[in-house]
Chains A and B, each alone.
Chain A
Amino acid sequence: MIAQQFKKYLFTLVFSLVSTLIFSNTASLEKVAQHEEIEGHSSTSHEGAVESRSEIDAYSKHHLADSHDFHLFSYGTEPRHHVGFSLPVIVWTSKGLRTFLSSKFHHNDDGTHVVDVNGVKLAKYHSKIYELESGVASVVLDAEHHPVAAHKVLDFSITKSVLGMLVASLLMLLGFSSLARGYKKGAIPTGFGRVLEPLVIYVRDEIARPNIGEKKYRKYMGFLLTVFFFIWILNLLGLTPFGFNVTGNIAVTVCLALFTFLITTFTASKDYWKHIFWMPGVPVPMKIVLMPIEILGMFTKPFSLLIRLFANITAGHAVVMGLIAVTYTAREALGVPGSFGVSFLLTLFISLIELLVAFLQAFIFTMLSSLFIGMAVEEHDHH
């Protein structure tokens, strides 16, 4: 039993190390990307074929950001043909709600194409929609590449990420409600339910029960199961060629971690608060010192959740794209077959690891959430 536990932790440790390494690689890659971008910014537009180093970095960065249209691929020389579909844009501007299709932007992402919707001038720059102040023709950037004379609008658009979430939600609802219905026919599920049932049991017996405790775990199963499968499916969707990057989006992970934070805070036992504000069993000066540390701990715990998920998935995507780009960047050194071969093998290898990371990150998020909930609802009967 202990050996098994140890193995589990070793496993987790090794993979967090691997993912940390990947992330630090990406961090340097990002630095290079930003550097290059500053140099060659004016030439960066996502209209043409992507071949040079700076174009690849810009493309990669563009992919990591959310997108207002669902772009599958482009082909041909100028003008390029884009295959994909537009998504609805819903924005809350200074003059109220405006809705239109993202095709109005004509795939423009550098703020030069201004759309006038019922008297509101909108432009898209790096996947963000800005409302231009009156008298400004297009997005003008300051020295730090931040638009001036324009402000961001509250963007409720059905972006690619939102679409991804809706797809994941739909898949979950269909899959698990069919499993639930299957139980009416017999105690043993049939078909795909046979795959889903062990996963549900896994979350219940390996994640929720040991961390929260036999008595209280049931109340949190709804959240934990939903979050586990939601993150996992979105992580997996991110590995498909559709190129979703939902769990690598900071807003999404903030929201997920916020749910954990709210649940821990609002269902916490008296003992939890006592341990935070007036730690029992230590001298009074120590209690005073511990209080701010514990209060900080309340926030760092969910913060670590949101950063971990975001960083792992973003790093994974960046590495996969970087390795695919080896096809172009190493073409001169290795020739076309050589660079393609190297790129293919490396990408295949990393994709397999990403497949594991997709599960692992969902597991870790759920695991730590249940651990935090468990710590919050724990009753200390020895005091």
Chain B
Amino acid sequence: MNLLHDFSPGLFIIQAIILLVLIVLMRKFAWKPILDSLNSREEGIKEALDAAENAKKELQNLNAENERILNEARAERDTMLKEAREMKSTMISSAKEEAQAEADKVIRQAQEAIVAEKKSAIVDLKNQVAGISLEIAEKVMKTELADKNKQLALVSTMLKDVTLN
């Protein structure tokens, strides 16, 4: 087979023209738009994937943040409860103490008053007893001086009259 003999220059030239025109046309009408769309689609897909990944990360962050806030709130609640409990117990104990003190004071005043009354009552009684004794003594003296019987009667009568208050 003689390749050089088979080579057709005319076919070669036509082929070159066809191929050149075909490359130009295909570039303009097919390859450029196809490759552009493929690129933009692939970039779109990549961006979407990245965005999804970012969203996932953000969600995770958000969850962590929520968890943290929740924990904080829980801790705060706990401290508040604790404080309240403490406050309650201090309040109760201080109230108790105050009440005790007041009660003590009232009791002491009452005791003091009782003691004072008692004293005055005793003084009074003493005075009355002394008065009565004096009256008795006076009357006894008077009757005794008059009649012995009468004096005795008198004394017994008088003693009957006397009522100890």
Q: Which residue of A lies closest to B16 (CB)?
A: A255
> Of the candidates B9, B18, B26, which one forms a contact with A162 in the assembled complex, judged by CB atoms under 8 Å apart?
B18
Query: Cβ of B30 and Cβ of A128 under 8 Å apart?
Result: no
Whether B22 sits at the interface, judged by CB under 8 Å, is yes
Q: How far is the CA of A204 from the CA of B43 in the complex (A)?
A: 16
Q: Which residue of B lies closest to A310 (CB)?
A: B3
Q: How far is the CA of A294 from the CA of B65 in the complex (A)?
A: 66
Q: Determine the chain A residues whose CB is within 8 A of the CB of B26 once the complex forms.
A: 172-173, 176, 222, 225-226
Q: Which of B93-124 contact A (CB under 8 A)?
A: none
Q: Determine the chain B residues whose CB is within 8 A of the CB of A165 once the complex forms.
A: 14-15, 18
Query: Cβ of B19 and Cβ of A155 under 8 Å apart?
Result: no
Whether A59 sits at the interface, judged by CB under 8 Å, is no
Q: Determine the chain A residues whose CB is within 8 A of the CB of B41 once the complex forms.
A: 187
Q: Determine the chain B residues whose CB is within 8 A of the CB of A249 once the complex forms.
A: 6, 8, 11
> Of the candidates B13, B30, B33, B35, which one forms a contact with A156 in the assembled complex, judged by CB atoms under 8 Å apart?
B13
Whether A357 sits at the interface, judged by CB under 8 Å, is no
Give chain B nearest CB distance to A234 CB in angstroms.
11
Give chain A nearest CB distance to B32 CB in angstroms.
8
Give chain A nearest CB distance to B49 CB in angstroms.
15
Give chain B nearest CB distance to A330 CB in angstroms.
25
Whether A157 sits at the interface, judged by CB under 8 Å, is yes
Q: How far is the CA of A128 from the CA of B32 in the complex (A)?
A: 40
Q: How far is the CA of A183 from the CA of B27 in the complex (A)?
A: 16
Secondary structure at the B interface, as helix, strand, loop or mixed, is helix
Give chain B nearest CB distance to A180 CB in angstroms.
4
Q: Determine the chain A residues whose CB is within 8 A of the CB of B11 once the complex forms.
A: 66, 155, 159, 161-162, 249, 251-252
Q: Which residue of B lies closest to A129 (CB)?
A: B10
Query: Cβ of A173 and Cβ of B25 under 8 Å apart?
Result: yes
Query: Cβ of A226 and Cβ of B29 under 8 Å apart?
Result: no
Q: Which residue of A lies closest to B30 (CB)?
A: A176
Q: Determine the chain B residues whose CB is within 8 A of the CB of A230 once the complex forms.
A: 19, 22
Q: Which residue of A lies closest to B13 (CB)?
A: A156
Whether A250 sits at the interface, judged by CB under 8 Å, is yes
Query: Cβ of B31 and Cβ of A155 under 8 Å apart?
Result: no
Among B26, B34, B44, residue most surrounded by chain A Cβ atoms (within 10 Å): B34
Q: Which of A179-226 contact B (CB under 8 A)?
A: 179-181, 183, 187, 197, 200-201, 204, 218, 221-223, 225-226
Q: Determine the chain B residues whose CB is within 8 A of the CB of A161 once the complex forms.
A: 11, 15
Query: Cβ of A251 and Cβ of B8 under 8 Å apart?
Result: yes
Query: Cβ of B44 and Cβ of A183 under 8 Å apart?
Result: no
Contact count band on A? 35 or more
Q: Determine the chain A residues whose CB is within 8 A of the CB of B38 once the complex forms.
A: 197, 200-201, 204
Q: Determine the chain A residues whose CB is within 8 A of the CB of B9 once the complex forms.
A: 154-155, 251
Query: Cβ of B14 and Cβ of A179 under 8 Å apart?
Result: no
Known interface pairs A173-B30, A200-B34, A221-B35. Does A256 touch B8 (Cβ–Cβ under 8 Å)?
Answer: no
> Of the candidates A34, A154, A180, A250, which one forms a contact with B10 in the assembled complex, judged by CB atoms under 8 Å apart?
A154
Q: Which residue of B lies closest to A90 (CB)?
A: B10
Q: Determine the chain A residues whose CB is within 8 A of the CB of B23 once the complex forms.
A: 222-223, 226
Q: Determine the chain B residues whose CB is within 8 A of the CB of A34 once the complex forms.
A: 1
Q: How far is the CA of A230 from the CA of B20 in the complex (A)?
A: 12
Q: How far is the CA of A375 from the CA of B124 in the complex (A)?
A: 139
Among A223, A230, A252, A258, residue most surrounded by chain B Cβ atoms (within 10 Å): A252
> Of the candidates B5, B6, B14, B19, which one forms a contact with A259 in the assembled complex, judged by CB atoms under 8 Å apart?
B19
Query: Cβ of B31 and Cβ of A255 under 8 Å apart?
Result: no
Whether A177 sits at the interface, judged by CB under 8 Å, is yes
Query: Cβ of B7 and Cβ of A183 under 8 Å apart?
Result: no
Query: Cβ of B10 and Cβ of A226 under 8 Å apart?
Result: no
Whether A36 sits at the interface, judged by CB under 8 Å, is no
Q: How far is the CA of A256 from the CA of B16 in the complex (A)?
A: 8
Q: Which residue of B lies closest to A176 (CB)?
A: B30
Give chain A nearest CB distance to B122 CB in angstroms.
118
Give chain A nearest CB distance to B121 CB in angstroms.
115
Whether A169 sits at the interface, judged by CB under 8 Å, is yes
Query: Cβ of A226 and Cβ of B31 under 8 Å apart?
Result: yes
Whether A148 sits at the interface, judged by CB under 8 Å, is no
Q: Determine the chain A residues whose CB is within 8 A of the CB of B35 once the complex forms.
A: 200, 204, 218, 221
Q: Can you list the 4 inter-chain pairs with the closest CB atoms, starting with the nearest?
A: A176-B30, A183-B37, A155-B10, A222-B27
20 inter-chain pairs at a CB distance below 8 angstroms, sorted by A residue, are A34-B1, A91-B10, A156-B14, A162-B15, A172-B30, A176-B29, A176-B31, A183-B33, A183-B34, A183-B37, A201-B38, A222-B26, A222-B31, A226-B22, A226-B31, A230-B19, A251-B6, A255-B12, A255-B19, A259-B16
Known pairs A180-B33, A197-B38 / 13 extra A-B pairs, C-beta < 8 Å: A154-B10, A176-B26, A180-B34, A187-B37, A221-B31, A221-B35, A222-B31, A226-B23, A226-B26, A230-B22, A250-B7, A251-B12, A255-B19
B-binding residues in A (CB < 8 A): 30, 34, 65-66, 91-92, 128, 146, 154-157, 159, 161-162, 165-166, 169, 172-173, 176-177, 179-181, 183, 187, 197, 200-201, 204, 218, 221-223, 225-227, 230, 249-252, 254-256, 258-259
